[in-house]
Amino acid sequence: MGGAVESDTRRYRGSATVRRGVAVLPRGLSVLVSVWVSLAMAAASGSLPGRHLLAQDTISETHSDSTGDAPAAAIVDTIIIDNRDIFDEEQAKGNFFFRLANTLHINTRPYVIRREVLFKQGEPLDSLRLAETARNLRARRLFTQVTIDTVRQDDRLAAVIRTRDGWTTTPRISLSFASDGTVTAVLGVTDRNLLGTGNYGRAWWVKGVDRSGFVLQTALDRLGGSPMTLGGGVFLLSDGNAGNWATGVPYRAYPDQNAFMYDGEAADRRILQFRSTNIALDTTQYQRRAFTNRINGGIAPIANSREYLRVGGTAEVRNEIYILRQDTALAIPDTVTATIGGYVGYSRADFNLVRFVNGFGQEDVNLSRSLHLSVKVTPEAFGWESFGVGPRLDLSAGTRLGAGYARGWVVANALFNSAGLDSGRVVFGATVAARPSQESRHVTVLSVRGGMQDNPPPGGEFDLGFNVAPRGFPPHAFVGTRSLSGTLEHRWYAWDGIFNVINVGLAAFLDYGGAWYSGQPSRYGGNIGMGLRIGSGLSAGIGRTARIDVAYLFGDGVTGRTGSRWSFSLGPSFVF
């Protein structure tokens, strides 16, 4: 959803959140031109040998506690880590580049894998913990395959964790463009597995839609073997600078019983606020200066691989100002404010391991039923004009539909004070994925999302177009505090391992949606088209694909903003 704050704060990871001022930089399509990147797109993956105890890796309230031929009371005598290189011996024998890749690649250290294991030697075998361990390892985005098997010898039971490394060191030469002339690009390098330690580093030069500059980021997990994480980023941009940081002990898995995190942000940069019409795009420029620090911590009275109940508190101190750049005399007052609050969250685990939905690789679809409630208070003594209360609701749930699934979510938050509603936001989304069978390479996805906001910060409005559906329209084609959009897309992941280098699929799609400000007439536009989906069996994580699309545009804003009803675009595929 354009305009929404995006962050990667999965419970498995403790990486620093990327603030909105950086999230607006497009991620772009990797157009890989060096031999390293060819290797990153190489050879379709094959299945690892062994008896796959958790092939489907599904957890629900009806999931059995017994697995395979091992009874529930069986004791795990030993844990074996079997991490494979990128290419197996047979693949490497006949290909110089594959052998070179294996030689230069540093395999993930065994201790990185062992730290994610949620079961121990000498404990009874628990299929739920085995399944969550596999999910946690996939969530690290280091491997192309993860399986956990059990092996019996005499009366001894061993748990064998098999993984295959993905190519995680990628020189990045990326390009996204559309037929209206919009071009974004990335030049740099990313490594998600520095020296096999599971740590993350990124150094990019980025040309975005509205700004360009350098991005440096890192995330160091489990420092010195401790539970702590440390991460941050520096963003040296053409319209100002920003940075963020985080450290602490996060929730990484359902059985975790406590967490404590400190994070912050500093910024002095331009913020753009757009107002789009059928014939023009008006822009208001602000200078945002901010320095924010927050802490939050919690405990889990209920914490196991089936469910958790977490309660905790949070506190924040914020110094923030928005200055109208056209007239520096007009500014939202520079204020130092603080908030305190608490939260309670419950989740019942339900995950489904699938392929051929968002890419060629494995992904864990989260169908868990989760409810999180929080409230913050803003006392006058903490710098606020009047006492306020800020509630927030996060709700999500999903269900299986044969080989497919459906899931939905809603997030609502507001701030109420003596004058009534000071600000608020409600956003929602729902996705239905239909698949003929678990083995099918076809998937049809319907995704609907929308929301409304009242008094958002400048630049926080919904923003649709370009790499946000409707994809055929230029950037900022639909902007406002009200939004509704949907995408219907059929994907056929047709061919694996063409020349042992690349995977290719086909797609047909229909996008329709729009955004507008309160008081404006609603504005909608759409596109219908076809395209290619290009990916790799060696991509770690979900194996997100690139897209090359041709679309026919219709609805509001076609002739005035685009100049043509036909659009060609190249960029990252949509993740549903």
Mind listing the pLDDT tens digit for each residue in 268-283? 999 998 887 776 778 8
**Domains (ranges, CATH) in the chain?**
20-34+167-572 (2.40.160.50), 43-165 (3.10.20.310)
Identify which of 5, 22, 19 has the alpha carbon closest to the alpha carbon of residue 461.
5
Cα angle value 49/52/53 (rounded, 5°) = 150
Q: Tell me the C-alpha distance between 75 and 62, whole Å.
A: 22
Residues forming beta bridges with residue 394, ordered by sequence position: 372, 411
53 in Cβ contact with 148 (< 8 Å)? yes
Could you count the other beta carbons within 10 Å of the beta carbon of residue 94? Answer: 9
DSSP state of 223: G
pLDDT at 195 over 50: yes
Mean pLDDT of 313-338: 77
Query: For residue range 512-527, what is the model confidence (pLDDT) as tens digits?
Result: 999 999 988 999 999 9
Positions of E strands within 435-565: 442-454, 462-464, 478-480, 482-498, 502-516, 525-535, 546-555
Give the per-residue pLDDT at 6.
30
DSSP state of 92: H
Which amino acid would we find at residue 357?
A: V
Q: How far is CA 406 from the centre of its chain?
A: 18
Which amino acid would we find at residue 552?
A: Y
Give the per-residue pLDDT at 494.
93
pLDDT at 550 over 50: yes
Q: Tell me the C-alpha distance between 261 and 295, whole Å.
A: 6
- Say which residue, 171 or 256, is predicted with more confidence: 256
374 in Cβ contact with 392 (< 8 Å)? yes
pLDDT at 4 over 50: no
Q: Which helix (H) or strand (E) holds 133?
A: helix 127-139
Q: Which helix (H) or strand (E) holds 110?
A: helix 110-114
Query: For residue range 213-255, what is the model confidence (pLDDT) as tens digits?
Result: 999 999 999 888 889 999 999 999 999 999 999 999 999 999 9
Cβ neighbourhood burial of 45 (10 Å; 0-12, 13-18, 19+): buried
Q: Which two tokens stand for residue 27?
A: 């991620």
Cα angle value 45/49/54 (rounded, 5°) = 90
Alpha helices in 180-286 (DSSP H): none
Mean pLDDT of 531-543: 75
Which amino acid would we find at residue 71?
A: P
Confidence of residue 370 (pLDDT cuts 50, 70, 90): very high
Confidence of residue 20 (pLDDT cuts 50, 70, 90): very low
Min mean pLDDT across 98-102, 414-418, 529-533 is at 98-102
Mean pLDDT across the chain, nearest whole number? 82
- Residues counted in the chain: 576
Confidence of residue 85 (pLDDT cuts 50, 70, 90): confident
Could you count the other beta carbons within 10 Å of the beta carbon of residue 292? Answer: 16
Q: Which helix (H) or strand (E) holds 102?
A: helix 96-104
How much is the pTM?
A: 0.79
Min mean pLDDT across 270-274, 340-344, 432-436 is at 270-274
Query: For residue range 345-364, what is the model confidence (pLDDT) as tens digits?
Result: 999 999 998 989 998 888 89
Q: Tell me the C-alpha distance between 421 and 61, whole Å.
A: 40
pLDDT at 417 over 60: yes
Give the per-residue pLDDT at 17.
29
485 in Cβ contact with 512 (< 8 Å)? yes
